Structure 1
Amino acid sequence: MTSEAQTSEDSQQLKDRVNNRSQRPQSEAFKQFMASQWATPQTGDHSRDAVADYTWRRRRAVSERFAEERVVIPAGPPKVRSNDTDYRFRPHSAFAHLTGLGVDHEPNAVLVFEPVDEGEGDHGGHHQATLYFKPMAGRNTEEFYADARYGEFWVGPRPSLEEFSQRLGIRTKDLDELEPAVTKDAGAVEIGGTRIRLLREVDLNVDALVDTSRINTGVDVESSDSLDAELTEFCSELRLVKDSWEVEQMRRSVASTVTGFEDVVRTLPQAVGRDRGERMVEGAFFARARLEGNDLGYDTIAASGNNATILHWIRNYDRIEPGELLLLDAGVEADSLYTADLTRTIPVSGTFSPVQRKVYQAVLDAADAAFSVVKPGIMFREIHQAAVTVLAERLNDWGLLPVSLQEALSPQGQHHRRWMPHGTSHHLGLDVHDCAQAKRELYLDGILEPGMVFTIEPGLYFKNEDLAVPEEYRGIGVRIEDDVLVTESGAENLSAELPRDPDDVEAWIAALQQG
């Protein structure tokens, strides 16, 4: 290498070197030609998205809770997967909930609630909400062909400000206008400033912008953190009860997930006895998730044999052997980002052995006991108690408890939880573990209301290395998980189309594999 070439390479900025693979010409002739002779992008009226009739009510709830404060909700930036390639973008769930934007819209976008005088707010609220995002650059700009992260030539077209405004029923502005919108008149309330509430740890650049503004205006940063935490908490609690649009999204996700489970059962004979057979199962479900939805709602658990006793087994690299059980825990995430979360335990050879059936029936009975108590007005924690009581009784009947049933069920005992250490239910929606930042008194100690959606998922897990149980139980892991909607009178099993009874499961497998 010549010294001149070495100097040229050394002078290249580090941040620019990821683009070395592009080998893009830099001549003025190329730039002028690239900026010419492109069809004019289509414009016109865009129909209003159905979700817009619901998101304004969600924003109104935020406005009521934080009147006279500026509320900042970032979508989040793209996340690097490897060097110069990103993961498919997914916005923060609170942003998606309040805007209605799913799929891969819009990295770096920020929703800002600006406090206004009484009577001037959106839909009678205390704020005017504006969505700030980066609109598509013109085809006569270098970004069009030179920016691998945002350029239309690389990643495709993006909606215009006008399109999103019409579709979502919300004001839109260029992201370049975000900084003054967030920081203007900011400061301590006692001296006439506007307090900022920020959904933190979503976009570090927005965190820095708000924190710098607070420091520059004498606002105590530490106390502001607790105020921001209240916003995070509220946005999580706002999703505890789903509206009718959200319930419909859940139904769609569940329906696609049921189809994905059917795909797996059809694939299973080809996966048995093969290296990485669990990966074949995982792949079959993933294909359905991408075909009918946006993605997986979470990493699929395709656990065969003893792996089924590992609660979050997502490596999925083992063989599937005849006679084993396959625990499949998977969910399709819809384009709206709402996800299902279902589990079935499938006999690989088509029928349960006697001991497998005995364990499976105990788990099914526990699930049925949990279903039977679900209705408006009970505490969320009562669902779990109903399920684990049945499991404790069965473990006692089998002689596995080292103490009496009464002692095991006491708060000081809990010996039965060795074989089911997780909870029976969690809320479900935009996140597979939705509403996770909600206060305890609204979650575990919360009272069920119509519109709540959650799982019921008891299980029993007897590990190969567990010397506290007879050998016949070892290596058996069973979980049955359904998605449940609280109704005015009780509960609806959204996943009822997926067989649960052991006889029905065996018949289901036979029909799918023979068909």
Structure 2
Amino acid sequence: MADQTDTAARTDAPRATSNRSTTPHSDAFKEYISSNWAERTDVLPPAREEASFAADRRARLSAKYPGKRLVIPAGRLKQRSNDTDYPFRAHTSFSYLTGWGSDSEPGSVLVLEPHAGGGHEATLYFRERAGRDSDEFYANPEIGEFWIGPRPSLAQVAADLQLATLGIAELDRVIGSVDENTLVVRGADPELTTLIDAHVEAAVVEAEDEAALPTIAFSPAEGERDEVDESALLDQDLSEMRLVKDDYEIGQMRLAIDATRRGFDDIIADFPRITGHERGERLVEGVFNGRARADGNAVGYDTIAASGPHACILHWTRNDGPVVPGDLMLVDAGVELDSYYTADITRTLPVSGTFSPEQRMIYEAVREAADAAFAIVRPGIRFREVHATAMGVIARKTAEWGLLPVSAEEAVEPQNQQHRRYMVHGTSHHLGLDVHDCAKARRELYLDGVLEAGMVFTIEPGLYFQPDDLTVPESFRGIGVRIEDDIVVTATGAENLSVQIPRTADDVEAWIARSRP
């Protein structure tokens, strides 16, 4: 990695230190590096496909908040170590409302300014690219072109996203005018949120009749909220808007799932190398991550590559164990596209290519639970019924195997739940821009919500028999199985978007047989 600069003229690069070699800053150098560059010509891109969908989303949000100024930050770079940062990922709400994904600029802010007659005007503020007459393009390691590559112009982004754009310096005017009618997505950019809070508080103090003002949002340290926190409602509304996906979103989910299928193919094809390495789980992770970078932006979450008893650890992401023939390999992974939409798929694979009798019995029980849950999905049922249906099968199977101290019918009673020892997690979660999407939605619209066409969620039952669990036969211990698919609710039922990734025990064995060299 190239060394960073430390010059008096540098701005917004606070982590460069005096212990580094520095960019020259003599007058002769500055004059020479600023001259003899080819003239830039802005080629304006066509509007991206998502632009019209994002405009519709903004219009829906606008209708919920008449007269309110809405501030939706993208967020900023997060430090990984010293002067290196994590790859930037814009806040989900920002991407949802702008259509800007992996190519978004850190520090950007979307502002919806209310019109007196109703509605809002949307403006995107971001740091426009520096001219060659400044030192930013060569001397700033966080945003300079010599360090991170070309950045788009205001005109290019405006054409791409079909949004009005202004330079980030113009945001000062907005911040200076905020009042009790300004709401901000609070988790996206803590520094900006603190600044806006201070201006809102000042506006309240200056008001002639403080008691008559509408409810406002302070940061938690500033005191208890007497009534509803409208900024929390903004987060909630944005989560709930995403519960039903539009056509663009469903199309992106299909593409993410297709890429994820190719990632699973890659893993199986590389099994000989994976099983020959002492940390074969790391190789599984690496192979899948390679596909995610080739066909998308990244992985949508840390890949779970859990072999043998590690499959009984629900969120095993250390991925440092061997992959041993005879064991099962549980892979929970998803490709995130440049639009940030992600898949979330789990398949459990016999490393040797065939299931043992016990492995097959457990695997097929999990598949039966998944199939039973999928069979009831249709508009009008409640989301929690999907989980209840899957758990009914889990209870029945574990009771048949003699693992429960009560009958299956008794186990599913709320006061019992003994079968949950072998599957403590839920069966489903919404999926989209976040792998656990819509997380701030109200319970009555999520867990207790009624399914609608366009909702996308997972179905992912499992059975996990810990290596030291004395309630199960010794031959079961250390076996963990999960099957996870991504489902979209249709007008008349549901579609399993990931059904082309083999699911039955027979199909999985055939998949491994034909994929190996």
Alignment match, 2:179: 187
In 2, the alpha carbon distance for the partners of 1:16 and 1:418 equals: 48
Describe how 1:201-350 pairs up with structure 2 within 5 A: 201-218=187-204, 221=218, 222-223=224-225, 226-350=229-353
User: Does the CA-based 8 Å contact 2:15-2:82 persist in structure 1?
Assistant: no
Alignment match, 2:449: 446
Q: 1:382 to 1:46 in 2, by over 3 A?
A: same
How many residues are matched? 488
Report the alpha carbon displacement of residue 17 of structure 1 after superposing the two structures with TM: 4.7
Q: 1:463 to 1:161 in 2, by over 3 A?
A: same
Report the alpha carbon displacement of residue 44 of structure 1 after superposing the two structures with TM: 3.5
User: What RMSD over aligned residues (CA atoms) do the two structures have, in Å?
Assistant: 1.4
In 2, the alpha carbon distance for the partners of 1:339 and 1:405 equals: 36
In 2, the alpha carbon distance for the partners of 1:294 and 1:302 equals: 20
Q: 1:512 to 1:34 in 2, by over 3 A?
A: same
1:369 aligned to which of 369, 372, 377: 372
Specify the SS of the correspondent of 2:314: coil
When the two structures are superposed, what TM-score results if normalisation uses the length of structure 1?
0.93
In 1, the alpha carbon distance for the partners of 2:27 and 2:47 equals: 42
User: Does the CA-based 8 Å contact 1:48-1:166 persist in structure 2?
Assistant: yes
Describe how 1:40-79 pairs up with structure 2 within 5 A: 40-79=39-78
Alignment match, 2:493: 490
Specify the SS of the correspondent of 2:204: coil
Specify the SS of the correspondent of 1:315: coil
1:198 aligned to which of 181, 184, 207: 184
Q: 1:360 to 1:25 in 2, by over 3 A?
A: same
Which stretch has the larger CA shift, 43-52 or 246-255?
43-52
Give yes or no for the alignment of 1:508 onto 2:488. Answer: no
1:359 aligned to which of 357, 362, 384: 362
User: Does the CA-based 8 Å contact 1:90-1:104 persist in structure 2?
Assistant: no
Letter of the 1:139 counterpart: R
Letter of the 2:302 counterpart: D
Report the alpha carbon displacement of residue 20 of structure 1 after superposing the two structures with TM: 3.8
Alignment match, 1:121: none
- Deviation by residue 1:116-136 (Cα, 9 ceiling, x = unmatched): 122xxxxxx611011010000
User: Does the CA-based 8 Å contact 1:34-1:140 persist in structure 2?
Assistant: no
Alignment match, 1:154: 147
Specify the SS of the correspondent of 2:306: strand
Letter of the 2:179 counterpart: G
Specify the SS of the correspondent of 1:21: coil
Give yes or no for the alignment of 1:171 onto 2:164. Answer: yes
- Deviation by residue 1:261-295 (Cα, 9 ceiling, x = unmatched): 00000111211142111001111100000000000
Identical aligned residues as a percent: 53
Report the alpha carbon displacement of residue 455 of structure 1 after superposing the two structures with TM: 0.4
In 2, the alpha carbon distance for the partners of 1:142 and 1:51 equals: 35
Alignment match, 1:83: 82
Report the alpha carbon displacement of residue 201 of structure 1 after superposing the two structures with TM: 2.2
Specify the SS of the correspondent of 1:442: coil
Give yes or no for the alignment of 1:126 onto 2:119. Answer: yes
Specify the SS of the correspondent of 2:516: helix
In 2, the alpha carbon distance for the partners of 1:510 and 1:105 equals: 42
User: Does the CA-based 8 Å contact 2:44-2:160 persist in structure 1?
Assistant: no
In 1, the alpha carbon distance for the partners of 2:75 and 2:309 equals: 39
Specify the SS of the correspondent of 1:128: strand
Specify the SS of the correspondent of 2:150: coil
Letter of the 2:116 counterpart: D
In 1, the alpha carbon distance for the partners of 2:134 and 2:164 equals: 26
Specify the SS of the correspondent of 1:218: helix
Alignment match, 2:420: 417
Specify the SS of the correspondent of 2:20: helix
Report the alpha carbon displacement of residue 31 of structure 1 after superposing the two structures with TM: 1.0
Specify the SS of the correspondent of 1:440: coil
User: Does the CA-based 8 Å contact 2:54-2:96 persist in structure 1?
Assistant: yes
Specify the SS of the correspondent of 1:163: helix
Give yes or no for the alignment of 1:18 onto 2:4. Answer: no
